[in-house]
Structure 1
């Protein structure tokens, strides 16, 4: 029995994911819940478990492809009869298919849908978390080239396409090698997203391009070669520029906007053009805080705590929120309400190879300095490794971004959507500074606070920033503030 596994809804309302890597291959035997692939959503890299125990039959999508929720990604042979069942399909759609009139005769290249004729008692109900296949206008289902598997390996002549609940599948059938060539007319040419983007920009129809890559894959060189044979619709010269001389290099590289970059861009545009941003700056002498950190590192009780300047700033921010709760709010436009949060879920902006992530520490205001340091280390490590859970990337109430690690003194950070304030901490510099009536070299830090002026007045924002500065300039002052 063949079981078809469709890409599930991985939560947070995400509609697509990129297959980063397959950990199995056709013919491999897998167990239930075995880690079979890494998939990248717009927020994190997620381990995908197998919903079946059996043998991998077909990998429908190669690594590096963005797949929509509800599209088939892998089929399993779990033994038993020859029925083909669909994991994650819309049960209603399967029932409707079973009750539909008998279809008209079809070419030899297709067979009667096995799932459509299977008795109702043999069909599976939806798996929890596996949404129905979605009708997406403008996103036709991918089709496989005849005789070519999804990973580029030639399939046997006995392989054919079987329609299962409206989705193209490849299952063993009795199709012959002499299948008519007309069956491939509607297929999309095999290429990568950057090549498709290049062809689109040049006005080239990829169906007219001959692919020279592996198993007919169309490459950038194929598109360039096609350009020399005809004048494209864009009116560009019929001959490609000479790249054989001293300037034999690419002028530009194009890559698709996807995953985290797409999500970040959308969120930043929404925030910048929805919330009226105000940014204030405060430069302070943090020499006493630096000396405090040095003394903690020399103390056996704190030597392994890993407490740094970010943890101290985080603690100072949590204390300051208690004195100015307006910075820990959210503007709820649909409800016409201001939401006041009673706890601080502190977002920590982390630069990762995938882009910017802002995981948050739940109830950060309830943690001591050691607890904050440990939580920050755990969050940033997970973010850079790409293992942050999607739930940790939502629900923040106020954020810190440490631009000082890049040698930057100050900036105007954009609010994380749904938050009222974000604090940027710059680099600590050794500068001449007024100290006890004279000039001395001191450790100086600039803080930048952006806030939503709908929620936070100038006086409130200024008092909040001043409180943080007071704690960092003289940590002993905390005793007068709590």
Structure 2
């Protein structure tokens, strides 16, 4: 008996997903809820569990393919299980074998009789491969998360960092990306890295000159080709990049944006962070400027709830939230994602720092759950990590405000009637002018600034 498994709606209401990689192959025996594939939606990479226990009879898509929700993804042969079931027990066995699966990849698969995970087998095959550097992704809260470079063996358990065109190019050459080292500082495998590796194993792409340096096409040949294809790279617009573009256009042309700026002396906050980092009792926590700013925002939103609201056009109402689901905008290799910390206003400073650290690490690896990227009420983005002092961030759709943190700079500043070197940063608040007037926006920025300038003032707030 053959059963088809169709790509399910992963809870995001999205019409399609890209197949990242298969974790099984035709002929493999799988158990119920065993991971069989990774798919990339507009928000996250999700593992799909097997809905059946049986033998994989056919794979209906290749890595890199975009599969529509409801399309057949994989087929299973369940005949062996049915034939081995004793008469009278068939119905119960079939029910057990075909129990309703968890379609978003949660829940442990049965261990007995399970074949080794395909990625675990890959580790054995490639244990002698040169480990590629896994540089930290630039994220919105780099000061608040310790990002460690994984052991090369552990890296083989992760999806190699590359773009869909590069993965397709590697497939055309018959190259396993797990064996290719990234040549740049970002840790992302490029087409040039694939070509360089192909040359070392005698699989150089057609037309590649033997004298050309790896990754550097011959300039004269490129000019003589006279083709745009030889001088440009086309990257499909899909996944996170497509979702982000659609969301930002919708936000920009729906909510009338305005931005206000304020520069503040944060020397006292810098000193507080330094003292907390030196405290052995807090050695397991990473408390940085992002965590303190997040706490300041939560406190300020209690005083100014108009910035913690949304515009309900259908009901003709402004909905103010009595909780803060704090979004943290993170720039990852897959594009911009904005997961949020639920009920952030109920957390103390250490708990907020831990939550930001966990959120950052999850976003870095592309494993943010879709549920974590919906329901936000206010967002923080850290443009300072790029060395930028200020910006005009675009609102996350459905939110009234987004606060950008600029770089903390040591510079001359007036302090107690004299000029002294102080730590200074600029806050940029973009807000929905339908919900918020300039006065309310300015008051929120000042409230956040007051806490960053004098962290002890937080003790006076409820």
Q: TM-score, normalised by structure 2?
A: 0.70
Residues 295, 243 of structure 1: alpha-carbon distance in 2 compared, 3 angstrom cutoff: same
Partner of 1:56: 56
3-state DSSP of counterpart to 1:250: helix
Distance in 1 (CA, whole Å) between partners of 2:74 and 2:329 is 36
Answer yes or no: is 1:265 the counterpart of 2:220: no
3-state DSSP of counterpart to 2:255: coil
**Aligned ranges 1:292-311 → 2 under 5 Å:** 292-311=272-291
CA contact (8 A) 1:8 1:129 kept: no
**Aligned ranges 1:160-199 → 2 under 5 Å:** none
Answer yes or no: is 1:406 the counterpart of 2:386: yes
CA contact (8 A) 1:10 1:129 kept: no
Answer yes or no: is 1:327 the counterpart of 2:303: no
Deviation of residue 288 (structure 1)? 0.6
Partner of 2:13: 13
Deviation of residue 424 (structure 1)? 0.2
- Picking from 198, 221, 224, the partner of 1:244 is 221
CA contact (8 A) 2:33 2:101 kept: no
Deviation of residue 42 (structure 1)? 0.6
Partner of 1:160: none
Q: CA RMSD in A?
A: 2.9
Higher relative contact order (CA 8 A, sep 6+): 2
Distance in 1 (CA, whole Å) between partners of 2:312 and 2:16 is 28
Gaps of 5+ in 1: 83-121, 131-192, 196-212, 216-224, 226-241
Deviations 1:353-411 (A, max 9, x none): 10011000010001000000000011111111111111000000000001111111100
Residues 33, 414 of structure 1: alpha-carbon distance in 2 compared, 3 angstrom cutoff: same
CA contact (8 A) 2:382 2:405 kept: yes
Answer yes or no: is 1:416 the counterpart of 2:396: yes
User: Bigger shift: 354-363 or 301-310?
Assistant: 301-310
For this pair of structures, how many residues does the alignment match? 342
Deviations 1:402-449 (A, max 9, x none): 111111110000000000000000100011111111111111100000
Distance in 2 (CA, whole Å) between partners of 1:413 and 1:315 is 20
CA contact (8 A) 2:5 2:75 kept: yes
3-state DSSP of counterpart to 1:322: helix
- Picking from 216, 233, 241, the partner of 1:253 is 233
**Aligned ranges 1:435-446 → 2 under 5 Å:** 435-446=415-426
Distance in 2 (CA, whole Å) between partners of 1:330 and 1:256 is 33
Residues 405, 194 of structure 1: alpha-carbon distance in 2 compared, 3 angstrom cutoff: closer
- Picking from 405, 429, 450, the partner of 1:470 is 450
Partner of 2:329: 349
Distance in 1 (CA, whole Å) between partners of 2:308 and 2:6 is 41
Distance in 2 (CA, whole Å) between partners of 1:252 and 1:335 is 48
Deviation of residue 128 (structure 1)? 7.6
Which structure has the larger Rg over C-alpha atoms?
Answer: 1
Larger helix fraction of residues: 2
